[in-house]
C-alpha cells in the first residue's frame, strides 16, 4: 500500500512529536546574546521542530567574564532552578587577546562560573558561546595585537580560547564562529553582520540560534521550519551549514563526550561466587547490576553466588539521566569436576613420555595449578599460576604417574601417564 502525501506528512510530524524534548537553558552574555533576542529566536526554531526551550537570560551590554562571575543577578539566576544548560559568553574581544592576558582575565572566571553552575546542580552542562571575528578585524586593538588586524586572525584567536575553556571545564562548545566562517566562505551573499561589523544581523542571529538548537537538542537543524523573516533560500543555506559544521560533528564540540560508558571486570572464585567491579566505567555515578538469574544489586563493586549454569550479567551505568548498558557472558560453574570428568579432556601428551610432558588446553579449563604425583600419592612437582607449556620429567624414574589439575574454581581433575 502506498501512503498518500498527507498521511506521510502526518506520520513525519507525529514522529517528531513523539521524540520532542524540553530543555531549560540560562543565557549569560551581553549584547551578542541580547541583539535580536537570541534566546527567544532559539526557542522559536526549536518549537518549529516540536521541541520546547524554557529560558532565562542575563545580557548586560559589554559584560566581561569576570563581571559575570561576580554579578549578583547572574548568580541569582544560576541558582534559580536546576538548569539543563547555562550558556556563557565573554565580551566579544577579550578571548581574542594574547594568551597571557586571557589566562589572567578570562579563564579563571570561566572556571568560577562553571563551579558555581555545578554547585547549584551537578548535572547542568555549561555551554561556551564561541563568537566570531569582526567583519574586518579589530582595528582598535590592531597595534597591540597584530593578529586582530584581520577577521581571520581574530576569529582564530577566539576559536582557540573558547575551545580551551570548554575543554578545561568539561563543557559543551557552541561553535557559532565556525558556522559563520563557513557561511562567509560558501555563501558570501548572506550578510551575518550588523552595520557596525561586529554585532549580528538577523541572519547572523538565526545562524547562532540554529547552532544552539543543534547543540542543546542534538538534532538535525535542517528540519527547522522557522525562517525568522529571512528569505527561504538564505534560511535553508544557513541550516545546511549548521548541519555540516555542527550536527555532523557533535563530538568535536564535546557533545557526547561526557555520556556514561558502562564497563566492568569480574573474578570468579570457588563455590561459583563472582566478584564484579564497575570502576572501569566512564562518567558514571550510579550502577545497577542484573546478574542474569533474576536478582539485582547496586554499587561499584558487588559479589554474587550463582548456582550451576550459564548467565549473562548486565551492568547499567548512569549519570544525570543518561545511561549505558554493558553485558558480558560468563560461565560461573562451567568448569566443575563433574564436567571435567564427563568431558575427559586430554591435557597431556605424549603418553607414554620420556623427557618432556607437554600440557595443552589449560586456559580453556581454567587450570591454575598442577601437581605431578607418583603411584604412592607423593607430590613430585608443583606449579601454581605460572604454569609452563611442558614439564621436564627426564629425572623421574620409569613408572606410572598422575597429573592433578586444579581449576580456578577449586575443582580437581587427574590424568595418568607413563614415564618410559
CATH code where residue 271 lies: 2.60.40.10
Query: Could you tell me if residue 161 is inside a domain?
Result: yes
Q: pLDDT confidence of 123, banded at 50, 70, 90? A: very high
Query: Could you tell me if residue 10 is inside a domain?
Result: no
Task: Give the three-state DSSP class for 80.
Answer: coil
* CATH (domain of 158): 3.40.50.1110
Nearest Cα to Cα of residue 92 among 72, 106, 75, 71: 106
- Mean pLDDT, all residues of the chain: 89
Residue 359 predicted with pLDDT over 50:
yes
Both 169 and 89 in one domain: the answer is: yes
Indicate the number of domains in the chain: 3
Residue 5 predicted with pLDDT over 50:
no
Q: What pLDDT shows up at residue 384?
A: 87
Question: What CA–CA distance (Å, rounded) separates 128 from 279?
Answer: 30
Both 114 and 202 in one domain: the answer is: yes
* CATH (domain of 413): 2.60.40.3080
Q: What is the pLDDT of residues 365-395, one digit of tens each?
A: 778 888 898 877 788 888 888 888 999 999 9
Residue 320 predicted with pLDDT over 70:
yes
- Domain range enclosing 297: 265-327
Question: What CA–CA distance (Å, rounded) separates 326 from 313?
Answer: 9
End-of-domain residue from the set 198, 223, 253: 253
Both 159 and 282 in one domain: the answer is: no
Mean pLDDT within 143-159: 97
Q: What pLDDT shows up at residue 346?
A: 81
Q: What is the pLDDT of residues 69-85, one digit of tens each?
A: 999 999 999 999 999 99
Sheet holding 296-298, edge to edge: 296-298, 286-290, 314-319, 322-327
Mean pLDDT within 315-319: 95
Both 271 and 370 in one domain: the answer is: no
Per-residue cell: 95 = 578571548
Nearest Cα to Cα of residue 274 among 218, 329, 235: 329
Query: Could you tell me if residue 216 is inside a domain?
Result: yes
Q: What pLDDT shows up at residue 103?
A: 98
Which DSSP string corresponds to 364-396? TTTEEEEEEEETTS-EEEEEESS--SEEE-TTS
Query: Could you tell me if residue 179 is inside a domain?
Result: yes
Both 342 and 209 in one domain: the answer is: no
In contact, 419 and 350? CB cutoff 8 Å = no
End-of-domain residue from the set 253, 280, 296: 253
Q: What is the pLDDT of residues 208-266, one digit of tens each?
A: 999 999 999 999 999 999 999 999 999 999 999 999 999 999 999 999 999 999 988 87
Residue 206 predicted with pLDDT over 70:
yes
In contact, 120 and 78? CB cutoff 8 Å = yes
Q: Indicate the DSSP class of residue 130.
A: -
Mean pLDDT within 171-182: 98
Chain position carrying cell 536546576: 82
Chain position carrying cell 595443552: 360
Convert 47-60 into a string of H (helix), E (strand) and C (coil).
HCCCCEEEEEEECC
Both 233 and 96 in one domain: the answer is: yes
Q: What pLDDT shows up at residue 11?
A: 43
Both 299 and 367 in one domain: the answer is: no
Question: What CA–CA distance (Å, rounded) separates 190 from 204?
Answer: 9
Q: pLDDT confidence of 350, banded at 50, 70, 90? A: very high
Q: What is the pLDDT of residues 410-419, one digit of tens each?
A: 667 778 888 8
Both 401 and 341 in one domain: the answer is: yes
Amino acid at each position: 500500500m502506498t501512503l498518500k502525501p498527507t498521511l506521510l506528512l502526518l506520520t513525519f510530524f507525529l514522529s517528531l512529536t513523539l521524540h520532542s524534548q524540553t530543555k531549560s537553558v540560562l543565557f549569560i552574555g551581553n549584547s551578542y546574546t541580547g541583539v535580536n533576542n537570541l534566546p527567544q529566536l532559539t526557542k522559536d526554531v526549536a518549537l518549529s521542530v516540536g521541541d520546547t526551550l524554557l529560558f532565562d537570560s542575563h545580557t548586560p551590554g559589554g559584560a566581561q567574564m569576570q563581571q559575570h562571575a561576580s554579578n549578583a543577578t547572574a548568580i541569582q539566576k544560576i541558582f534559580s532552578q536546576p538548569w539543563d544548560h547555562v550558556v556563557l559568553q565573554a565580551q566579544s574581544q577579550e578571548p581574542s587577546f594574547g594568551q597571557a592576558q586571557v589566562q589572567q582575565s578570562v579563564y579563571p572566571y570561566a572556571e568560577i562560573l562553571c563551579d558555581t553552575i555545578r554547585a547549584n546542580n551537578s548535572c547542568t552542562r555549561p555551554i561556551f558561546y564561541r563568537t566570531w571575528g569582526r567583519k574586518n578585524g579589530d582595528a582598535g586593538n590592531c597595534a597591540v595585537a597584530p593578529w586582530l588586524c584581520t577577521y581571520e586572525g581574530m576569529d582564530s584567536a577566539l576559536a582557540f580560547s573558547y575551545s580551551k575553556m570548554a575543554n578545561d571545564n568539561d563543557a559543551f562548545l557552541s561553535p557559532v564562529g565556525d558556522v559563520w566562517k563557513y557561511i562567509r566562505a560558501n555563501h558570501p551573499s548572506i550578510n551575518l553582520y550588523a552595520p557596525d561589523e561586529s554585532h549580528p544581523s538577523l541572519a547572523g542571529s538565526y545562524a547562532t540560534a540554529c547552532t544552539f538548537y543543534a547543540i542543546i537538542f542534538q538534532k538535525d537543524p535542517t528540519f527547522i521550519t522557522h525562517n525568522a523573516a529571512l528569505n527561504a533560500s538564505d534560511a535553508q543555506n544557513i541550516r545546511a551549514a549548521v548541519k555540516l559544521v555542527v550536527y555532523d560533528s557533535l563530538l568535536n564540540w564535546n557533545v557526547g563526550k561526557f555520556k556514561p560508558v558502562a564497563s566492568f571486570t569480574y573474578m570468579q572464585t570457588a563455590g561459583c561466587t563472582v566478584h564484579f567491579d564497575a570502576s572501569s566505567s566512564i562518567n558514571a555515578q550510579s550502577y545497577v547490576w542484573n546478574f542474569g538469574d533474576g536478582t539485582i544489586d547496586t554499587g561499584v563493586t558487588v559479589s554474587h553466588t550463582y548456582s550451576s549454569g550459564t548467565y549473562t550479567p548486565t551492568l547499567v551505568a548512569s549519570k544525570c539521566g543518561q545511561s549505558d548498558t554493558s553485558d558480558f557472558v560468563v560461565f560461573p560453574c562451567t568448569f566443575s569436576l563433574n564436567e571435567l570428568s564427563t568431558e575427559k579432556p586430554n591435557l597431556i601428551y605424549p603418553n607414554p613420555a620420556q623427557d618432556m610432558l607437554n600440557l595443552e588446553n589449560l586456559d580453556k579449563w581454567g587450570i591454575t595449578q598442577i601437581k605431578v604425583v607418583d603411584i604412592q600419592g607423593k607430590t613430585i612437582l608443583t606449579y601454581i599460576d605460572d604454569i609452563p607449556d611442558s614439564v621436564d620429567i627426564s629425572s623421574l624414574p620409569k613408572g606410572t604417574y598422575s597429573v592433578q589439575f586444579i581449576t580456578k574454581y577449586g575443582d580437581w581433575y587427574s590424568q595418568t601417564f607413563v614415564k618410559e
